[in-house]
A and B are shown apart, each in its own frame.
Chain A
């Protein structure tokens, strides 16, 4: 019945888990990103996509370094990352659960599914569990409306869910262990 578990391919190259954000290797990556985009006009958002793709979020120190290396004031960077839903300012959990709240999913009861997950994990949408294992978020349309209601975990879509199946989603995560990669979904509303 519930047969929806292939990981959705991502284009943004993803390497390190969120925990590596502070590792020294991250520094070199910022230089690489800055050099890749610095000469291209208007590429700040693309550079930030690359950065978040590698780290899972945009840490303040990384934003500062990126700004210095790209000659972009920090205020400009924050102006952008706070405007767009996609960018995260804090490290998400190991498993990012995104419940789609697009119209089709809304009609099919996504609010109930989200509430169930909030109860199950004992967090509100937009929060992570204290052990940083799970991050729950409500997201805009994931474009798989034919499979509504649905949720995705680290980019892996679980479709045609029942609204009372929050427990099933958590069980599947433990079973599948979707790759710990940076999330590919829009950030919490």
Chain B
């Protein structure tokens, strides 16, 4: 494909889409597929066909729209009125939707809030859950069909790549640095700096690796991006490759995410046919291609050096750094590993410029962040918010509180590596620095809400047990320390703990934080430590009666 063909294709697809008077976008991600969304799409198509409305109404699948607990969701867009969002759609409801809403709208009626039985199957798009979000990474989710390249092109797809091909590697790195984008996998290392470090290493072979090993239990941002907008991640990787003169791309994706793998495979095939991946990309003479590698269920493989070992077909154990992957990575060659969400930000930054991206967020944390809002919360699902928004706004305004008569007690961010944040600190703005100050971390974006009936001691034990189980066993601080800490915590949980046990937990935790080889061991004590820090009385209640009086 020549660069100018991009626009032509986009214009054709856009014109085609605009020729439809009504479009129905139905979520086809894993969550909604498990609630029969594929059957619902087929049913809607059949209903439209039966009324010979195929030229006026389009039905298509789309990426995750966020409110997973109310799925399957269908978004109806029409030129004549505001969008309507159908929720909890069931097989058998297509006739109702078409007869009571789609056909009247085609005939000129305005039906912004469907009545009758459909009333409770539609959501108000003016709710804060929708209006307070800023969608950058998820902008195509709910709008485009992830299985169609042309749909991505119609929404500015591969325009960022086109721009990058006309720039020098150094200029791309500078642009990324100026945007202030930081790694969305959790650690928050500036992306432009990471690329620049890799760029400066001279080598015939260089790798760009996409880390799609979303191991945090309770997080599904990366799955939703890979499933909902695969071309954006591919484009992000191509731009990254240009920025550091990389020669090979690797997707590392959890085997537990078969649909994500399928969508990436499909998108790569389409991009190869269109001349966007492979030889002579966009007629520039540049060649670049990808391989896909599947994870096999090991949390530690989210760590860069462990991930590299796994891509090499070995046990996923980390190794000491330096040398960093930027110098010696996959097969001993310079490699750059970026998280899915980071990469999905890249094409948008290239296209709209660093100042546009940097206009949102705080001093040091720019742009938006996607969170997987789960646990005891009314609006369960995926939200994308600007950095700097307070935790309270996310949990109470967007999330709608617990939705029961119970009160929110705390949240946990950063999964097994993060920490708990009590309710009285919810006015903290979301940024890498602020969350760290609270003893938690941004992490990949899991945000679990617990209410006043949940025990923080049990939750701390849950996370520690997870880390002990997932420890690769290579270094002693993590392998032995984790097990010892779990034994101490188990005594507390069983009501047999003493004051000394809490002291010992703190000592072991410090050793693990200082001595572990990789982030898994270094951060494994975080949930327990933060729980003790914020909820010490709850731990003391669980101690042996004798010990409590002594203390």
Contacting residues, chain B, for A86 (C-beta < 8 A): 255-256, 295-297
Q: Contacts A102-B218, A104-B218, A146-B68 known; A45 to B294 CB distance under 8 Å?
A: yes
A96-109 near B? 1/0 per residue, CB < 8 Å: 00000111101110
Chain A proximity mask over B26-62: 1 for CB below 8 Å, otherwise 0: 0000110111111100000000000000000000000
Decide yes or no whether A12 CB sits under 8 A from chain B.
yes
Confirm or deny: A134 has a beta carbon within 8 angstroms of a beta carbon on chain B: no
B469 touches A189 (CB 8 A): yes
Contact check, A103 vs B314: say whether CB atoms are below 8 A apart: no
Check A107–B450 contact: CB distance below 8 A. yes
Residues of B within 8 A of A159 (CB): 31, 34-35
- Contact with B315, one of A80, A85, A150, A184 (Cβ below 8 angstroms): A80
Residues of B within 8 A of A85 (CB): 296-298
Within 8 Å CB of B34, what residues of A? 4-6, 8, 144, 147, 150, 156-159
Taking a contact as CB atoms under 8 Å apart, the answer to whether A107 and B296 are in contact is no
Contact indicator B30/A146 (Cβ below 8 Å)? no
How far does the alpha carbon of A106 sit from the alpha carbon of B256 in the complex, in Å?
18
Known: A140-B217, A141-B217, A185-B256. A45 touches B31 (CB 8 A): no
Bound together, the chains give a CA A187 to CA B298 distance in angstroms of 11
Scoring A103, A106, A140, A150 by chain B CB atoms within 10 A of each residue's CB, the highest score goes to A103
Q: Are A42 and B256 in contact (CB under 8 A)?
A: no
Q: Does A175 contact B (CB under 8 A)?
A: no
Task: Tell me if A43 counts as interface (CB < 8 A to partner B).
Answer: yes
Contact A107 B454 (CB under 8 A): yes
Of all chain A residues, the one with the shortest Cβ separation from B330 is: A42
Residue A44 is within 8 A (CB to CB) of chain B in the complex? yes
Residue of B nearest to A79 (CB): B315
- Chain A residue numbers with a CB within 8 Å of B257 are 143
- Return B519 CB to nearest CB of chain A, in Å: 18
Q: Is A142 at the interface (CB under 8 A from chain B)?
A: yes
In chain A, positions 20-46 with a C-beta closer than 8 Å to chain B are: 40-46
The answer to whether B315 touches A103 (Cβ under 8 A) is no
**How far is it, in angstroms, between the C-alpha of A87 and the C-alpha of B298 when the chains are bound?**
11
Q: Are B218 and A145 in contact (CB under 8 A)?
A: yes
Q: Are B293 and A45 in contact (CB under 8 A)?
A: yes
- Which of the four size classes fits the interface of chain B? 35 or more
Are B219 and A141 within 8 A (Cβ)?
Answer: yes
In Å, the complex CA distance between A84 and B450 comes to 31
User: In the bound complex, do residue B297 and residue A140 qualify as a contact, i.e. CB atoms below 8 Å apart?
Assistant: yes
Q: How far is the CB of A133 from chain B (nearest CB, A)?
A: 23
Chain A, interface SS category: loop
Q: A42-B311, A144-B30 are in contact. Are A3 and B35 (CB under 8 A)?
A: yes
Q: Closest approach, in angstroms, between the C-beta of A69 and any C-beta of chain B?
A: 15
Question: Which of A84, A102, A146, A184 is close to B69, meaning CB atoms less than 8 Å apart?
Answer: A146
A79–B375 Cα distance when bound, in Å, is 36
From B415, which residue of chain A is reached at the shortest CB distance? A103
Kindly state whether residue A148 has any CB partner on chain B within 8 Å: yes
Please tell me if the beta carbons of A46 and B33 are within 8 angstroms of each other in the complex.
no
A147 to B381 alpha-carbon distance, docked (Å): 9
> Do residues B219 and A145 form an inter-chain contact, with CB atoms below 8 A?
yes
Contact of A84 with B265 in the complex, beta carbons under 8 Å:
no
Residue of A nearest to B33 (CB): A6
Name which of A9, A101, A107, A146 has the most chain B CB atoms within 10 A of its CB: A146
The answer, yes or no, to whether A49 is at the interface (CB within 8 Å) is yes
Chain B nearest CB from A142 CB (Å) reads 6
Cβ of B412 under 8 Å from chain A: yes
Q: What CA separation (Å) do A147 and B36 show in the bound complex?
A: 13
Please, how many angstroms separate the alpha-carbon atoms of A156 and B298 in the complex?
22
**CB pair B380 A145 closer than 8 Å:** yes
What residue in chain A is nearest B37 (Cβ atoms)? Answer: A6
B538 at the interface (CB under 8 A from A): no
A145 to B, closest residue via Cβ? B374
Name the distance in Å between A23's Cβ and chain B's nearest Cβ. 25
Answer whether residue B223 sits at the interface, using C-beta atoms and an 8 A cutoff: yes
Binary CB contact string for chain B from 52 to 93 against chain A (1 if under 8 A, 0 otherwise): 000000000000000111010000000000000000001100
Give B91 Cβ to nearest chain A Cβ, in Å: 8
Q: Is the CB of B258 within 8 A of A146?
A: no
Specify the chain B residue showing the minimal Cβ separation from A83.
B315
- The answer to whether A43 and B256 touch across the interface, beta carbons within 8 angstroms, is no
Measured CA separation A84–B382 after assembly (Å): 29
Shortest CB distance B291–A (Å): 8
Q: Which among A11, A84, A159 has the greatest number of chain B C-beta atoms within 10 A?
A: A11
Mark A residues whose CB is within 8 Å of B. 3-6, 8-12, 40-46, 48-49, 79-80, 83-87, 101-104, 106-108, 139-148, 150, 155-160, 184-187, 189
- 19 A-B contact pairs sorted by A residue (CB < 8 Å): A4-B35, A5-B36, A6-B38, A11-B258, A12-B258, A101-B217, A102-B218, A103-B216, A103-B217, A103-B415, A103-B462, A106-B217, A107-B375, A141-B218, A146-B68, A146-B71, A146-B374, A159-B34, A184-B258
Question: 10 closest A-B pairs (Cβ-Cβ)?
Answer: A146-B68, A103-B218, A85-B297, A102-B217, A157-B34, A84-B296, A104-B374, A186-B297, A141-B217, A44-B313
Interface residues of B (CB under 8 A from A): 30-31, 33-39, 67-69, 71, 90-91, 214-220, 223, 255-259, 261-262, 265, 291, 293-299, 310-316, 331, 372, 374-376, 380-382, 412, 415, 446, 448, 450, 454, 459, 462-463, 469, 472
